[in-house]
A and B are shown apart, each in its own frame.
Chain A
């Protein structure tokens, strides 16, 4: 496959460091995919080929790993990827309402990207923050908890101004009790 993507010498050095951490090459697949996603913004098929080639692993293996995780973007995504959780706890607390509100607001469906390339929406499985349901994660980074329509409006406005929402520290119930 002719490849339009290339790792920089720094990337390659980093990949070497990653490889050195494991007795075999295969476990280096996950961190190397991260290096690639950081560099190119996604791991679309050509990038998967590049990763496989760089590590000397079968492309099928890299493809299997990349598609297993929603956190790896298998196509070009918007600048901000809104991962709305729709698994049980979030679902019960209005996860789908939040998802649909976002879809209407941005005029796209889950799995799509806005024309201006700003936003993508994904409906994802449990992100391990069920206590603050419904919730979403932005571009594999900040969690936004206890979503409401108003809160979503704020977040979108701030993202449009290129400002990531602050990390919210939400204490566990037992912590609140103690303090």
Chain B
């Protein structure tokens, strides 16, 4: 197998890897800016310099030439090489900044050049704290600069499009953003204009950067030049907690991180998963944070006289729920699961009601034909259509649903905005007694008789099965009124939890929603109804599902975590087309 010597250590490799990627894959480091593993390598930042040589071979015999000590004779490239674009060859010898003063010096000098006109904006720059330029300058850069002339100034606030704002002074012209629109999203909306110390990325005159994936450029910009218009100046990176989660605005199951502070989700960013979304996410999915924060239902409410809903106690809500059920027969109750809710929520709902005597379980698919783009947007608007199906909920068409509702006396609706998305009119819900378990105040929740607030994906650990049949899970990112970071084992503690005190303005009790996970609600209802149904944590519920529903055989939270989600067998993409 071909071999390469990096900083005196021998590695074997296959194929034709590029040097920088190979170095990174082997846990070593070389500073870089313009290289991105998903895109072409133009080698324009010149930061990833290393010293490279190849062994001298005898042309006839192919044998390596040896010096008097029996060591291979190395022919060094006359200049430093950019490791990002350097193809590895057998016997190659490489020195990084770790073993070569010369390389360290070259990197330092490159950085000094990159910084000539860079503003000293870190204190007010959104990128600070997650800025490759800042980090690498700290680690490999010069202590000062020999360029003491006035810096070149450029526009500080250019609205490139509806969602992305450019601070041109901070740009280091790595062209990652331009290449993203050329090679990943294919809209070709950006270019670098002008040249020398005057250049920065811009759209063509009269055009907008309204690429449906535009915000990914903010993530890959190695400096604070491209910023999210929405998130700009809202929070410092180190004030937030970062929790892995799943996108719920579509069927792709894009892996995301939720960034929280004071129990508010402030932004979503894509999380790498090579089997799902690699490094990217659609702009639209980033808007989900609003749903987690705004118009949340906190405390149950009940319809009083007319259409007025008033808040009520949890005891009263459970009591009303139970009384309504006891006043009718199971056949008169229609239980609607939801592709917008997790596997565990749907399962607990189904288990309680089938124990109580209900036989039919339905859900209304949320599919917009033609919405998908064969990338990360899907026709399916819900995150768990395959999951709810695999549990045994049957799809019900709009017409059948309307008919079925007419004969039902009580309807139990798990988080699904049927009225808002035009499946039902509020008049359809007038006659039966409708109990909705919901996260947000919507037209749907307004049209129901009893509203019980449940946790959203940002508040619970639960699983979702995407359009390709991959099951992935979320972790709680924010506290509810009944949870606490330090007590909830699924919850990661952030720097703020560990170092913040009650006197810090970022650790407060605000913004905790008075809601409960669906399975806990089912526990309370079961107790009141005298049913022997009892659920533990969502982790235990998944174990129970794995042992009772064949599609989920072998699935567990541990495996989902270790394997970055599990591809379920028995679910094919075609099945989803519904």
Contact = CB atoms under 8 A, between A and B. Distances in A.
Contacts of B189: 58, 60
Interface residues of A, number: 15
Contacts of A1: 206
B350 interface: no
A60 B188 contact: yes
A63 B194 contact: no
B193 A125 contact: no
A45 B191 contact: no
**Main SS at interface, chain A:** helix
Contact of B203 (A60, A62, A68, A125): A60
Interface in A61-108: 61-64, 67-68
Interface in A106-134: 125
A26 to B, nearest CB: 11
Given A58-B188, A60-B188, A60-B189, A67 B204 contact: no
B27 interface: no
A58 B196 contact: no
B234 interface: no
B16 to A, nearest CB: 25
Interface string B183-205: 00000111111111000001111
B196 A60 contact: no
Given A45-B206, A48-B205, A58-B204, A63 B193 contact: yes
Nearest to A74: B205
A67 B188 contact: no
A28 interface: no
A60 B204 CA distance: 4
Contacts of A62: 204
Given A60-B188, A60-B191, A68-B194, 7 more contacts: A48-B204, A49-B206, A58-B188, A59-B204, A60-B204, A61-B188, A62-B204
Contacts of A48: 204-205
Ordered nearest first, which 8 A-B pairs have the shortest CB separation?
A: A64-B191, A58-B188, A45-B205, A59-B204, A60-B191, A67-B193, A63-B204, A60-B204
Nearest to B198: A67
A171 B530 CA distance: 107
B186 to A, nearest CB: 10
B113 interface: no
Contacts of B205: 45, 48-49, 59, 63
B304 interface: no
B578 interface: no
A96 to B, nearest CB: 16
Contacts of B181: 60
Contacts of A68: 193-195
B152 interface: no
6 contacts: A48-B204, A49-B205, A58-B188, A58-B204, A59-B205, A67-B194
A39 B191 CA distance: 25
A130 B134 CA distance: 39
A19 to B, nearest CB: 19
Nearest to B191: A64
